[in-house]
Structure 1
Amino acid sequence: MTLIANLVFIEEAVYIYRRIPSFKRSVIIWINAAAPVIATTSCIGMWIPRSTMFTDFTAAVFFAIVIHKFLMMMIKECGGQKLLLKRFENGHFKISTGPCCCCCLCLPRVRITRRTLFWLKLGTFQFAFLRPVLMFLSIVLWTNGNYTLYNLSPKGAAIWISCFVGVLTIIALWPVGIMFQQVRTLLNCKKIIPKFALYQFILILNHLQAAIINILAMQRIIPCAPPLSSSARGAYMTQQLLIMEMFLITLISRVVYRRRYRELEPPERMAEESEANKQTPKIILNGAVNEDGLPRF
C-alpha cells in the first residue's frame, strides 16, 4: 500500500507540474504529498520499531508545513493576495470559528485587509517554524535521557512540550478555518470542500487517532503481547491503521486534485456583469423570467 501510494503521488506530481500554473504548483504538490509521506514514515516505523519516535516526528513536522501550505493554496486559488483583497474589499472575516472560538458567537467580524491576511499567514507559519524546533529539542532531550514519550508526569519534559505543541496546533488551525469559511462559496467550483475534508481527515487520523491509541496503551487497555509491550503494540496498531488510511486518502486526492477546474473570473469582469444584469429589464410571464422582455415559448 505504501509503495502504491508513493507511485500514485509521483504520477500525480508529474501531472500537476505539467498542467497546473506555476504560481500554485508547489503548494498543491506539498498538500498531496502529506498522505504518502505519513504512509512512508508509518511503514518504516512498523518494520523498525526503534525508529518510531523519529518517524512520528518527521510526519508531524511535514504536516505542520502542509497546514501553512493549505492556507496559501486557498489564497492562490482566489488569484493571489491582491485579487483576494479586491474580491473581498468590503468583506469581513468571521473569526468565531473552530477550533479556538467556535462558541464565541459574540466576537466581532474583522475587515479583510492586507494586515489581517498577514496575521492569518503568520498564525500558520509559526507552527511550521516552531514545530521542527520543538521536535529537535525533544530529540536532544531524548538522547540525554530527559524525554520519555510516555512519561506524562509534571516533572518530565514530554508533558510540557506536548501541551505547548497542542496550543500551537490550535492557533495554526484557526486561520485555516477562518479563511475556509470566507472562500468556500467562491471556490466551490474548485471543489474546495472535498479538499478541506481530506485535509481534516489527515489531521484527525494522524493526531487524534494516534493520541487515543497511545492513551489506551499507556493505561494497559491494549494488553502487551511478548515481545511487544503495550506501548509498542499501540504504536504498531497506529502505524498499520495509518498506512491503510493514507493509502485511501492518496487515491481520493488523486481524483479531487487531478481534475482541471476553470479559473475564477477577474473581479472587474464580475462587477461589469453584475452591473449589466441590473440594467437589463426583466418581466415575469407565467412564472418565467426573460431578460429581453419577450415571452418564453
Structure 2
Amino acid sequence: MREYFTAINVPGITIFTLGGFAVILVLILYVDTLNYILKNAPSKAKTHTAFVLSVYPVVSIVTYCAIIVPRAQLIAEAITQGCFMACLYQLFCLMIAYCGGEAQVVRLVKDKHVNLQVGPCCCYPCCFILPKLTISKRRIQYLRLLVLQLPVVQGLVYLMLLVMWAEEESLYTVNYFYFQPIVLSSIFCGIWGVITTMKMLSEHLKDHYIQGKFFVLQLVLLLAKLQSLLGRIAVWAGWLPCKPPINPTVYANLIYNCTMLWEVLLLCSIARVLYQRYVPDLSSTKFNYAQNINVISLQKQQVPPCETVGVA
C-alpha cells in the first residue's frame, strides 16, 4: 500500500482530491433530491424513490475506495452491481407504487394486453409468435419475480467469485468468464421484465418521466460493464505500461474508477432533475373508482317508498 502511494506521487494526490470532491458533490445532490422527494412525492413512492436514488452515492463511495485501495476493486465491482440490481427492482416497485398498487394496476390496464415482444430478450422477428396476454394480478407478480431474481442471482454469483478470489486470485481469474453467461442471462431477463412493465404502464405513467429514470439508472450498469471490459482488453493487449509496483491491471482499474466517478456525478445530476419534477398521484384514481362504486351501490339501494295499505 505504501509503495502504491509512493509510486503515484503528485498525480495520485490530485486524483484523490478531485475524486473526494466528486463524492461530496454526489452526496450533496442526493441529500437535496431526497429532501424534495420526502416533501413532494406521493406517499407510496417515497421509500422506493429514495432507494433508487441511493445507487449514485453508494457507487461513488465504493469507486472512490477502489481508487485509494486497488485491492478493493473486486469488492467495489460486486457492490456496484449488487446495488444496481436492488435499485432496478425498486424501480419496478416504484412504477407499481405510482399507480397505487398491484390491484390498481389491474384496474388501470384491464382492457389491454401484455406485449411480450420487447427487448432485450424478445425483440427478434421470430418472436412474433408470442401471445399477447391479458393482465392479471398473478401475471404482474410473475413480472415482479422476474425482476426480483436479479439481486438474488447476482449476489450468489459474486459471492462465489469473492470466495474464489479470497482463496486464490488465479482461481477467480480462470473461472470469471464461466460465470458471465449466468450473469448476462439474469440481467437480460430482469431488464426485459422492467421494460415489459414500463410499456404496459406507459400511457398512465407518461407524466412520471419513467423512461428517463430507467435510462439514467441503466447507464450505471452499462458504463460499469463496458468500461470494465475495455480495461481488461487494454491489459490483455498490452496497451498499458508496467512500472512496478504499479502493473497494467492497476493502471486500468485506476482509469476505469476515475472515469466512472465523474460519470456517476453526471448521472446523479440528471436524476436530480428528473426526480424533482412534479408527478401526479395516481392513487387518487383509486379513490375516485371506489367513490363511483359507492355511488352506484347507494343508487341501487334506493327503492320507491311502499304504499300504506289500510286495514279494515
Common fold, TM-score beyond 0.5? yes
Alignment partner, residue 239 of structure 2: 221
Counterpart pick for 1:173 among 191, 194, 204: 191
Give the SS at the match of 1:99: coil
Taking a change above 3 Å as real, the CA distance of residues 146 and 221 of structure 1, as seen in their structure-2 partners, is closer
Cα contact 1:6–1:36 (8 A) shared by 2: yes
Alignment partner, residue 111 of structure 1: 134
Alignment partner, residue 297 of structure 2: none
| Mapping for residues 106-145 of structure 1, pairs under 5 Å | 106-145=129-168
Counterpart pick for 1:266 among 264, 281, 285: 285
User: Which 5+ residue runs of structure 1 have no aligned equivalent?
Assistant: 273-297
TM-score norm. by structure 1 comes to 0.83
Give per-residue Cα distances to partners, 1:232-277, cap 9 Å, x unaligned.
222111111111111011111111102222223616859x9xxxxx
Cα contact 1:218–1:231 (8 A) shared by 2: no
TM-score norm. by structure 2 comes to 0.79
Give the SS at the match of 2:117: coil
Cα contact 2:96–2:105 (8 A) shared by 1: yes
Deviation at 1:147, TM superposition (A): 5.6
Cα contact 1:217–1:223 (8 A) shared by 2: no
Alignment partner, residue 81 of structure 1: 102
Taking a change above 3 Å as real, the CA distance of residues 262 and 21 of structure 1, as seen in their structure-2 partners, is closer
Alignment partner, residue 91 of structure 1: 112
Alignment partner, residue 37 of structure 1: 58
- Cα distance in 1 for partners of 2:68, 2:181 equals 29
Give per-residue Cα distances to partners, 1:88-132, cap 9 Å, x unaligned.
112111111111111123322122111211111101111112222
- Cα distance in 1 for partners of 2:230, 2:171 equals 18
- Cα distance in 2 for partners of 1:65, 1:171 equals 14
**C-alpha RMSD over aligned residues:** 2.3
Alignment partner, residue 300 of structure 2: none
* Equivalent AA in structure 1 for residue 178 of structure 2: W
Q: Which has the higher contact order (CA 8 A, sep 6+)?
A: 2
| Mapping for residues 182-261 of structure 1, pairs under 5 Å | 182-261=200-279
- Cα distance in 1 for partners of 2:105, 2:235 equals 47
- Cα distance in 1 for partners of 2:42, 2:64 equals 33
Q: Percent identity?
A: 21
Give the SS at the match of 2:128: coil
Alignment partner, residue 53 of structure 1: 74
Moved over 6 A (4+): none
* Equivalent AA in structure 2 for residue 5 of structure 1: V
- Cα distance in 2 for partners of 1:145, 1:226 equals 22
* Equivalent AA in structure 2 for residue 125 of structure 1: L
- Cα distance in 1 for partners of 2:30, 2:49 equals 11
Deviation at 1:70, TM superposition (A): 1.1
Cα contact 2:56–2:268 (8 A) shared by 1: yes
- Cα distance in 2 for partners of 1:12, 1:100 equals 34
Residue 2, structure 1, aligned to residue 20, structure 2: no
Give the SS at the match of 2:83: helix
Give per-residue Cα distances to partners, 1:145-200, cap 9 Å, x unaligned.
16655x3xxxx321222221121111111101111112223211112222122122
* Equivalent AA in structure 2 for residue 252 of structure 1: I
Cα contact 1:35–1:250 (8 A) shared by 2: yes
* Equivalent AA in structure 1 for residue 58 of structure 2: V
Taking a change above 3 Å as real, the CA distance of residues 111 and 216 of structure 1, as seen in their structure-2 partners, is farther
* Equivalent AA in structure 1 for residue 132 of structure 2: R
Q: What is the count of residue pairs matched by the alignment? A: 268
User: Which 5+ residue runs of structure 2 have no aligned equivalent?
Assistant: 1-21, 292-312
